[in-house]
Chains A and B, each alone.
Chain A
Amino acid sequence: MKKQIQNELEHQEAYLLLSISKKEMYAVPAGYFTAKKEDLYDLGDNEYTVPENYFEQKKASLVEIMEKDVPEKALPKAKTIHLKRWISIAAAVTVFAVSIPILNTINFQNQPIAQSTDFQKILNEESIFSDDEIAFLTNSSDDYFYDSFLVETASNELKNDDLEQIENGSYFDSVEYL
């Protein structure tokens, strides 16, 4: 009782402090609560129903699925992870082994022909080239042809016909190299 009086006094104190009427400041449409209560009763009346023994049957079927699935799924999962790891390691080793000769081939193909060891071997075996020519050819084959062309044009002075042939691309057919 003492507690209740204390509560009430505190409440009265707040009420006096605010000096505001406690009359309800909000209103509701006419007949709202009667209609609302009818609506709310419906919540309790419209119960959802399930077929007879639905939950028992559902539980039994779920337990059955669990019993079937658990042993089959648990073990292969672990194996799959294990195998996947070995497959990826084996694949990495194979790729590495195969890539070495391929990389070598790519290197050879990218090397200028004149600088390749095979080309030098051929030149050495054929006796028609002197040592100086071989050295010149293996130095830069493009420069060799270009320089010889310059020598040709400088020594003989190009004629008008020659210039035309050069432009046509047929000049090189008729030029005699050194």
Chain B
Amino acid sequence: MFLLNISLKLASNKEMSRQLIDKRIVELLQSNEPKKAFRLAVDEYTESIYWHLRRMVHIHEDADDLLQEVFTKVWQKLSSFQFKSTFYTWIYRIATNEALSFLRKKRNKVIHLSTSDEDLHLEQKLVADSLFNGDEAQLKLANALNTLPEKQKTVFHLRYFEEMSYDEISKVLNVSAGGLRSSYHLAVKKIEEYLKQAV
């Protein structure tokens, strides 16, 4: 309970700080200062968006390219941002769409591999990658995530790693919060089963 309280306080502080920055970005956009708004967005979101992309595509170079794409789109669309959603969910929506579109293109290019071949392929790639610091359990988790359907995988990423609320995920993915909740639990069960078998 003590840990839960600390965790809640930290999450709450993080949430407040993000809300303040988003508010400032919106103010700058409304006062017709898109350059300043963009710089603030780069300062605030470069790292979190990078990690979100990296966990989805695994390889640093791919995540780096996608990060560039995401911020190029943010700059291009900044003037048409309609303040209907928060800046936070808007930028995550762009990033998630870019990552999913990249993964689809990549999957179409690769000759069809069986699921076990795919796991082996990813495992070999990660082990060989000098920028992978994970332990064995994390390697298994990455493999387990790779076996999930696209939607469940995305929901799991946003909930587990990004620690987004279901309401926020529903705004990013444009799906009802109830559906997301069941999708997340299904993903957790599947990962758990995969890890049991792997051990």
Q: Which residues of A contact B (CB under 8 A)?
A: 3-5, 7-12, 14-15, 17-29, 33, 36-37, 39-41, 43-45
Contact = CB atoms under 8 A, between A and B. Distances in A.
B26 to A, nearest CB: 16
Given A21-B135, A26-B134, A29-B60, 8 more contacts: A20-B141, A24-B51, A25-B134, A25-B142, A26-B54, A26-B55, A26-B58, A44-B35
A135 to B, nearest CB: 84
If over half of B's interface residues share one DSSP class (helix, strand or loop), that class is named, otherwise mixed; here it is helix
Nearest to B46: A37
Nearest to B67: A36
Contacts of A27: 131-133
B7 A43 contact: no
A113 B107 CA distance: 78
Interface string B45-84: 0110011001100101000100110011001000000000
A128 B39 CA distance: 119
Nearest to B141: A20
Nearest to B15: A4
Contacts of B4: 8-9, 12
A10 to B, nearest CB: 8
Given A4-B8, A26-B55, A45 B35 contact: yes
Interface in B1-39: 4, 7-8, 11-12, 34-35, 38-39
B102 interface: no
Contact of A40 (B46, B131, B165): B46
A44 B8 contact: no
Nearest to B7: A8
Interface centre among A4, A7, A33 (most CB of B within 10 A): A7
Contact of A8 (B8, B131, B133): B8
B46 A7 contact: no
If over half of A's interface residues share one DSSP class (helix, strand or loop), that class is named, otherwise mixed; here it is helix
Sort A-B residue pairs by CB-CB distance and give the 10 closest, nearest first.
A25-B134, A44-B38, A25-B138, A40-B42, A27-B131, A14-B188, A40-B71, A43-B75, A27-B133, A44-B35
B103 interface: no
Nearest to A7: B165
Nearest to B129: A26
Nearest to B75: A43
A44 B29 CA distance: 13
B46 A33 contact: yes
Contacts of A25: 132-135, 138-139, 141-142
B60 A26 contact: yes
8 contacts: A11-B160, A18-B192, A26-B51, A26-B134, A36-B67, A39-B68, A40-B42, A40-B46
Contacts of B7: 8, 12
A15 B137 CA distance: 13
Contacts of A12: 4, 7
Contacts of A28: 50, 60, 131
